[in-house]
Structure 1
Amino acid sequence: MAGVYKLEIKESEEELKQLLRGKKTAFGKERIQLLYLLKTKQAETVQDAAAMLGRHRGTLQEWLRSYRGGGMDELLKRKVGSGRPRAIPGWAASSWRKRLEQPQGFDGYEAICNWLEKDLGIRAKYKTVHKLVHYRLQASPKVPRPVSVKQSPQQREAYKKT
């Protein structure tokens, strides 16, 4: 009969329930749910399970192939992204974060670009530096302006209120 799977699921129904409760992300939940549906006979075929999970049959067959190959560990293993490496490596970003926390800070993003090239030997575009500082590190390159010693605290508070 087409669509009938030939797979021995090693885990018991109770173990699968426990694993399902313990998973926080949809990535692992869907895969364990597939095994649970097949183990409890709620889905007779892979096609039925695909309809219940809202996934394509081929996707479920890939999951089952990985389960056959290495068990639960292989099924729940995430693939490593194959994207290009970051323009500014992690070690540079950590030393950069330390420098941003210092009181003198930087004068702006252009100063950060110059510091990266001079001290760390990394050439980075202004746009790259801005994205990293502003969005990833959630920091600001500028330090607060100094307050004049001639100002009185009462005048500052009065100014803030009005």
Structure 2
Amino acid sequence: MPKILYSQVIEEDPQELKKLEKRHRYSHLFQRVRMLRLLKSEECRNLTEAARALGYSWRQCQRWFASYREGGLEELLTSRVSERGRQELVTQEAFEDLQEAMKRGEIATISEADEFLRERHGIEYAHPDGVGQLLRRRKVKLKTGRPRHEDADPQEQEAFKKTSPQPLSEAAK
């Protein structure tokens, strides 16, 4: 296997990498830039030494360097954190359709939202609370009116509001 001359393969200048390293100091991407700087400045001669200096495995440093060789610094600094885990069942179009239906007032409960997704988009959640979790994750709240008693008379309530004395805090305004 041919020996890689990291100082020639890495295009960026060590000072430029040092600046980038400072900019990403509190990011999980900091160590990736640091690895490149160590290899470029020849503080570390190979990935094994760089891995030891950074406290990562040789394999992890190898992955980082491979991504750098594929797409340069831009590819190396692409964060893949959001790509982890299972993908959502709901597509963006289905979710936008659901939001529109909620705005129109067609959907008032989570079970209605579940039924809407199942009938219109063929999306079926295995767990009954799946749609509820989706809505919480996307920070969507179902808007409902203030509860009213079934025997309440709206005209009588309005008349009461007009004839009742005002609190002192409102009268002072």
Q: Distance in 2 between matches of 1:64 and 1:121?
A: 42
For structure 1, the residue ranges without an aligned partner over 5 or more in a row are 158-162
User: 1:34 deviation in Å?
Assistant: 0.2
Would the alpha carbon gap of residues 69 and 97 (structure 1) be closer, same or farther in structure 2, given more than 3 Å must change?
closer
Deviation at 1:142, TM superposition (A): 4.8
Q: 1:124 is matched with which residue?
A: 124
The higher-RCO structure (CA 8 Å, 6+ apart) is 1
**2:58, 2:17 → 1: CA distance?**
21
1:14-33 equivalence runs, <5 A: 14-23=15-24, 25-26=27-28, 28-33=29-34
44-53 or 85-94, which moves further after superposition? 44-53
Q: Could you state the TM-score of these two structures normalised by the residue count of structure 1?
A: 0.69
Question: How has the CA–CA distance of structure 1 residues 101 and 137 changed in structure 2, closer, same or farther, with 3 Å as cutoff?
Answer: farther
Residues 69, 146 of structure 1: CA spacing in aligned structure 2 closer, same or farther, 3 A cutoff? closer
Distance 1:69 1:121 in 2: 38
Structure 2 CA distance for aligned equivalents of residues 69 and 122 of structure 1: 39
Q: Does the Cα contact within 8 Å between 2:32 and 2:76 map onto a contact in 1?
A: yes
Judge conservation of contact 2:39–2:50 (CA < 8 Å) in 1. Answer: yes
Measure how far apart 1:57 and its partner are: 1.3
Structure 1 partner of 2:91: 89
Which residue does the alignment assign to 2:170?
none
**Aligned partners of 1:139 and 1:84: how far apart in 2?**
21
Give the TM-score normalised by structure 2.
0.65
Change (3 A) 1:49 1:84: closer
Residues 123, 5 of structure 1: CA spacing in aligned structure 2 closer, same or farther, 3 A cutoff? closer
RMSD: 3.3
Q: Distance in 2 between matches of 1:107 and 1:65?
A: 50
Return the letter of the residue paired with 1:64: F
CA distance in 2, matches of 1:96, 1:139: 11
Q: Deviations over 1:90-135 (max 9, x none)?
A: 1111121233344x363321111222344x23242332211111x2
